[in-house]
Structure 1
Amino acid sequence: MIPDNISSDISSLANIMKILGDPNRLHITSLISRQELCVCELTAILGLSQSNVSQHLAKLKSSGIVKERKQAQWVYYSLNPEKFPIIKNIINTLPDISFELLKLNGLQEHLKCKK
């Protein structure tokens, strides 16, 4: 029989893998591991609807993968590496997507959440 603490760790890791199994959530996680972003910035980069991005962020946040910081009416998301250091290893195996963050430079004046 597996001890409870190990069983809990395995279950927690399986849940993380399930959440990151969605390509959009994995993509979002990779982006916010490089830079703190808000929903409107993620929407602009990914080409997804605001509600779709918000739903993905809610799942990532509920699992503890993502943390948020509120500034005025905006919420900014970043990776929570303290909780799940293995996520950094997963992200390091992904292709470099930092060029996508460069899109924001041209879009800054069109975004509602200008930093």
Structure 2
Amino acid sequence: MDIQKSALLLKLLGDKTRLTMMKLLQSHECCVCEFTAIFEASQPAISQHLRKLKDAGLVQETRRGQWIFYSIRRDHEYAPFVEDVLNHFPDQNERLTNLEKQGLRISCE
């Protein structure tokens, strides 16, 4: 593993929002609209975080109609490293569960 590339990935994951996004994406596909509700952030702010993750090759997008869903790119050369880092944190599934309980879980399909 290249230490420079590893440091850049750790810096990218050092942001609380991006780290939480990646933890959610570890077990769920999500769209921007779901992240905006979870983080109570604007669509441009969420898109900026996702762009950084995508530019680093950590996430991929899948278009379904007008919606774009994001997931972890498991074929990335550093995917095992990123997965190992993520496995040290508790899952964030309660964030999606809370949205569902409040009737705020957004269905984009």
Q: Same fold (TM over 0.5)?
A: yes
Q: Which amino acid aligns with 1:65?
A: L
What's the counterpart of residue 63 of structure 2?
70
1:13 alignment counterpart: 6
Indicate the residue corresponding to 1:114 in structure 2: 108
Shift of 1:32: 1.1
Alignment-mate amino acid for residue 23 of structure 2:
S
Partner of 1:91: 86
Q: Please report the RMSD computed on the Cα atoms of aligned residues, expressed in angstroms.
A: 1.5
Please say if residues 40 and 50 of structure 1, whose CA atoms lie closer than 8 Å, have aligned partners that are also in contact. Answer: yes
Q: Percent of pairs identical after alignment?
A: 40
Which of 21, 25, 28 is matched with 2:18 structurally? 25
Matched residues in 2 for 1:85 and 1:53: separation? Answer: 25
Matched residue type, 1:107: L
Task: For 2:41 and 2:11, locate their aligned partners in 1 and report how far apart those are by CA, in whole Å.
Answer: 21
How high is the TM-score relative to the length of structure 2? 0.87
**TM-score normalised over the length of structure 1:** 0.83
What is the alpha-carbon distance in structure 1 between the residues aligned to residue 73 and residue 39 of structure 2?
Answer: 21
Partner residue of 1:81 out of 66, 74, 79: 74
SS of the aligned residue for 1:34 comes to: coil
Counterpart Cα distance in 1 of 2:66 and 2:91: 31
Deviations 1:89-113 (A, max 9, x none): 11111122111121343224xx3x5
2:50 aligned residue (37, 57, 63): 57
CA distance in 1, matches of 2:98, 2:57: 27
SS of structure 1 residue aligned to 2:104: helix
| Misfit runs of 4+, over 4 Å | none
Distance 1:104 1:72 in 2: 23
Larger Rg: 1
Gaps of 5+ in 2: none
Which deviates the most, 98-107 or 73-82? 98-107
Considering fraction of residues, name the structure with more helix: 1
